[in-house]
Amino acid sequence: MNRLDGKVALISGAARGIGAQTARRMAEAGAKVVIGDVLDAVGNETVKEIVSGGGEARYVTLDVTLEADWTRAVDEAVSHYGGLDILVNNAGLFIGQDFEEVGVETWNKLVAVNLTGVFLGTKMCAPALRERGNSSTHGSAIVNLASVAGLVGSQLDPLYSMTKGGVTLFTKSTAVAFGRKGDRIRVNSIHPGVIETDMGAHTFVARAAQVGTNDVEDARAQSLKMHPIGRLGVADDIALGIVFLASDDAGFMTGSGLVVDGGYTAQ
Ligand code: NAI
């Protein structure tokens, strides 16, 4: 189940957090993994850890907002590993400020990473994914990191929510568009609840600031209350879902959203 033997994956924003854990799980499942990020030192450490555990991985500097970086990242996958079967559009930013206080410069940065990054990743990887998709049983796969904030409104960060809502529908639209063109590329999104990563910690700080305190522990407790399952998520909860969506076990899934949120959106 959920094996990725012989597959090549490119994961953006995979130096740390959900992306790094996805890289570890994909390598364990038999994939060769290209980790792209702007945090070169952290990314190289993650690669070292995967390789020392017996996995295959490489690091490439990838700022998802730059077309030339995507070209280099795809070249890295094709020249070293022979092609590309899986793209995970994982890199993302969270602002966590009242939208009435956010300037256009900050907004543009958010859009550049959360939306332009997903557009460019999909566009620049499509030719390589198309090629491998035509010769594999269930085609190639793209997994986009959306969020619960891409399904329901976020009082914490409406701007982040707007970008993740965009990712949700870009996922469905590209699934339909690839299908229409006869391309064997499945596209699905994943929708995490609050996950204990650097970004998760940032949401607690933002939640505390919203009520005028710096009591991050209380904010964390408030956040926990929004998850009926009784705990916050960890990166592995999401990584396992991404591996499933990328694997042939999800061969009849495209244009779908996998909600992994501890019940956050069930209420
Ligand atoms: P994180 O902040 O721990 O990691 C994000 C990674 O993206 C970092 O390694 C960072 O260097 C990289 N990144 C940022 N800008 C980049 C750029 N321009 N080019 C390439 N890489 C860049 O965040 P986390 O929690 O691992 O989030 C991963 C994804 O999951 C994001 O898309 C996020 O929006 C989404 N998500 C996270 C949730 C959470 O509670 N942590 C909840 C729902 C969704």
Confirm or reject: Cβ of 195 under 6 Å from ligand 1: yes
CA dist 179 to 11, 52, 196, 245, 257, Å? 23, 39, 36, 17, 17
Which of 67, 119, 199 for a ligand 1 pocket mutation test, highest count of atoms within 8 Å of Cβ?
199
* pLDDT of res. 58: 98
* pLDDT of res. 79: 98
Q: Which atom of ligand 1 is nearest to the CA of 43?
A: 9
> Is pTM beyond 0.85 here?
yes
Specify the residue with its C-alpha closest to ligand 1, atom 33: 92
* pLDDT of res. 23: 99
160 catalytic, yes or no?
yes
Task: Report H helices in 141-197.
Answer: 158-180
- Tens digit of each residue's pLDDT (9 = 90 or more) over 44-86: 999 999 999 999 999 999 999 999 999 999 999 999 999 999 9
As a whole number, mean pLDDT of residues 241-263 equals: 98
Which of 70, 161, 162, 197 for a ligand 1 pocket mutation test, highest count of atoms within 8 Å of Cβ?
197
Q: Which atom of ligand 1 is nearest to the CA of 91?
A: 7
Q: Domain residues of the chain, as ranges? A: 8-193+234-260, 194-232
Confidence label for 1 from pLDDT (cuts 50, 70 and 90): confident
How many angstroms separate the CA atoms of 102 and 94, rounded? 12
- Tens digit of each residue's pLDDT (9 = 90 or more) over 142-184: 999 999 999 999 989 999 999 999 999 999 999 999 999 999 9
Give the count of beta carbons closer than 10 Å to the beta carbon of residue 210: 16
Specify the residue with its C-alpha closest to ligand 1, atom 4: 17
Of 196, 46, 38, 64, residue with least CA distance to 121: 64
Instruction: Report domain 8-193+234-260's class.
Output: alpha beta
